[in-house]
Amino acid sequence: MPPKRNEKAFLNFSEMKNTTVFIVLSMLTFFIRFPFFFRDYIDRDESTFILLGQSWANGFLPYTQLWDLKPPLTFAFFASIISIFGKSFIAIRFAGVLLVGITAYFTYKIAVSIISKNASIAVGICCIFLLSLFGSLQGVMSEHICIALFVPAIYLLQTKNSLGYFLLAGLLMGATVMVKLNMAFPILFMGMFLTYASIFKKENITLLHVTVFAVGVIAVIIATIIPYYLTDQTYIWWNSVVLAPLEYTGARRYSIFKLAPIFVITALFLVYAYKSKRLDFKNKTVQLLVTAIIGVLFSFAKGGRINGHYLIQLHPMLLILVGIVIYSIIQQYKPKLPMYLAFIVVLIPAESYLEYINVAKNIYKKGTFFNGEGFTVPQYILDHGLDTKNIVFFEYHIGYWNLDTLPPTTASTHPSNICRDELFTFYGNPRKNSVEEIKYIMHELRPRTVVIRKGKRIFDKKEINENEYIDAYLAKYYKVITTVDNANILQRL
């Protein structure tokens, strides 16, 4: 692998201090994500996390009043923001800026131990792009939280040898798995790697280091159980954090053909890097990163599904290795990079530019920065005095938060959970399947107001029986009284 050197570049950051690098990466993150501070609805999951965070801020432990399929520290993150700043989309989205900025900075810090500062900063910038653009990544996802803990932990394991830092790395890893449960696999793999290194390799790592690391991981997991233990509800933690995810991964799996591309691409890259000797697989940092990547991919295989935002868990580690390989190629062949490449880079955040325009239009038309049905629908409901008792948001369910109300049932905390009947038993739902749940909501609770997406199916296309039933029921007992943006508001006849 070519040695690092201070190269001349169009933009030379080689003399920049680390503090300045963090500020620059954070400012770029802020610029890209800022226009999305004012949008109500970016991803269904984020809206659900906010609802559970509010519930916890109100004094209800996760899974006791509302329910979702995530470990408790995901909700603790949102609950802490809400407890400090109140109902603030801006505070939540700004916290997302900090998460991405931290991840990008420690991605840079890991890379700079192998390649030049300029190249490492480029890797950090790419990390910001991949964690903030393309899809629903402008919101604050559980993946953003977990990777902002995971990457700093890798940095500590890479650079520090004291027991205190290994404990801190373990604590960060423990928090990671209590935000995103599938991260248990890369953490386990890294623990195995550290154990191997302590026994067979001439590293300044001993079994005591590995033990301290493991203690840190386990301590955080136990800490999340304590509130449930103290209130005699340990079974709720066990059912919701351990058993329910296991059941879910068994019931909801993608075809192998959907899973294959990311595995094939990553494998081909690693084979090329090994054959061409662009990566030094004897380097501790490279070994840690490869171990983490294999662990994340293994977790995807075990989970049986890969949504777009899942890849946040993979991007930082893979970006570092890709950056090392590209740097090696550039150092060898010294190609002259065209000036228009800088123009292309500037065009990458096109989503952000469009959203800036959208915010400006909204200010001009409606006099407010905030936009989206999650704001406009609740405002219409309040302005027209519509009944909100047992109101159902089959879409835009952040509306519950803006109306200061709750979903009608535990299963409807996240609209798609209504159709995940394999999970009902884990939070004590007396209904046995999704059609029964829908019947209970519509027949027994009889909501006066229902909100749906205009011109869209209510449930996923695979949920044929559920869609047929709710469509027929709404057509018979409800009428659309108005359309607000892309939402239909229905009233019971």
Q: What is the per-residue pLDDT across 429-479, written as a single tens digit (0 to 9) for each?
A: 999 999 999 999 999 999 999 999 999 999 999 899 999 999 999 999 999
The predicted pLDDT at position 343 comes to 85
CB 421 within 8 A of CB 248: no
Q: Find the mean pLDDT for residues 184-191.
A: 96
CA torsion through residues 237, 243, 245, 247, sign: negative
Instruction: Report the alpha-carbon distance of residue 347 to residue 341 in Å, rounded.
Output: 10
CB 115 within 8 A of CB 327: yes
Cα–Cα distances in angstroms (integers) from residue 206 to residues 66, 160, 284, 292, in the given order: 44, 13, 15, 20
The predicted pLDDT at position 195 comes to 94
On the question of pLDDT at 94 being above 90, the answer is: yes
Q: What is the per-residue pLDDT across 144-184, written as a single tens digit (0 to 9) for each?
A: 999 999 999 999 999 998 999 999 999 999 999 999 999 99
CA torsion through residues 75, 415, 354, 130, sign: positive
Instruction: Report the alpha-carbon distance of residue 240 to residue 408 in Å, rounded.
Output: 20
pLDDT band at 285; cut points 50, 70, 90: very high
Instruction: Report the alpha-carbon distance of residue 116 to residue 7 in Å, rounded.
Output: 8
Instruction: Report the alpha-carbon distance of residue 242 to residue 240 in Å, rounded.
Output: 6
CB 299 within 8 A of CB 324: no
Q: What is the per-residue pLDDT across 36-48, written as a single tens digit (0 to 9) for each?
A: 999 988 888 999 9
Average pLDDT, the chain: 92
Q: What is the per-residue pLDDT across 58-92, written as a single tens digit (0 to 9) for each?
A: 999 999 999 999 999 999 999 999 999 999 999 99
pLDDT band at 6; cut points 50, 70, 90: very low
On the question of pLDDT at 10 being above 50, the answer is: no
On the question of pLDDT at 50 being above 70, the answer is: yes
Q: Find the mean pLDDT for residues 398-419.
A: 95
On the question of pLDDT at 122 being above 80, the answer is: yes
The predicted pLDDT at position 202 comes to 67
Instruction: Report the alpha-carbon distance of residue 366 to residue 309 in Å, rounded.
Output: 32
The predicted pLDDT at position 13 comes to 72
On the question of pLDDT at 7 being above 70, the answer is: no
As given in the structure block, the two tokens for residue 128 are 């910001």
Instruction: Report the alpha-carbon distance of residue 402 to residue 41 in Å, rounded.
Output: 12
Sheet holding 449-453, edge to edge: 392-393, 449-453, 487-492, 478-484
Domains of the chain by range and CATH? 18-347 (no CATH), 366-492 (3.40.50)
Q: What is the per-residue pLDDT across 81-90, written as a single tens digit (0 to 9) for each?
A: 999 999 999 9
pLDDT band at 253; cut points 50, 70, 90: low
The predicted pLDDT at position 194 comes to 94
Q: What is the DSSP pairing of strand 478-484 with strand 449-453?
A: unpaired
Instruction: Report the alpha-carbon distance of residue 99 to residue 210 in Å, rounded.
Output: 27
- Which is nearest to 321 in space by CA: 119, 102, 168? 119
The predicted pLDDT at position 252 comes to 66
Q: Which amino acid is at 391?
A: I
- Which residues does 355 contact at the CB level (< 8 Å), separation at least 6? 35, 36, 39, 138
Instruction: Report the alpha-carbon distance of residue 379 to residue 383 in Å, rounded.
Output: 6
Q: Find the mean pLDDT for residues 301-308.
A: 82
CB 392 within 8 A of CB 412: yes
Instruction: Report the alpha-carbon distance of residue 356 to residue 362 in Å, rounded.
Output: 10
Cβ burial of 322 (10 Å; 0-12, 13-18, 19+) is middle
On the question of pLDDT at 11 being above 60, the answer is: no
**Minimum mean pLDDT range among 26-30, 132-136, 378-382, 397-401:** 132-136
On the question of pLDDT at 2 being above 80, the answer is: no
Instruction: Report the alpha-carbon distance of residue 138 to residue 131 in Å, rounded.
Output: 8
Query: Which one-letter DSSP state was computed for residue 4?
Result: P
CB 167 within 8 A of CB 213: yes
Instruction: Indicate left, alpha or beta for 364 from its phi (over 0: left) and psi (-120 to 50: alpha).
Output: alpha
The predicted pLDDT at position 426 comes to 94
Q: Find the mean pLDDT for residues 183-195.
A: 95
Q: Find the mean pLDDT for residues 368-386.
A: 94
Q: Looking at the DSSP assignment, which residues form a beta bridge with residue 482? A: 489
Helix (H, G, I), strand (E, B) or coil at 371: strand
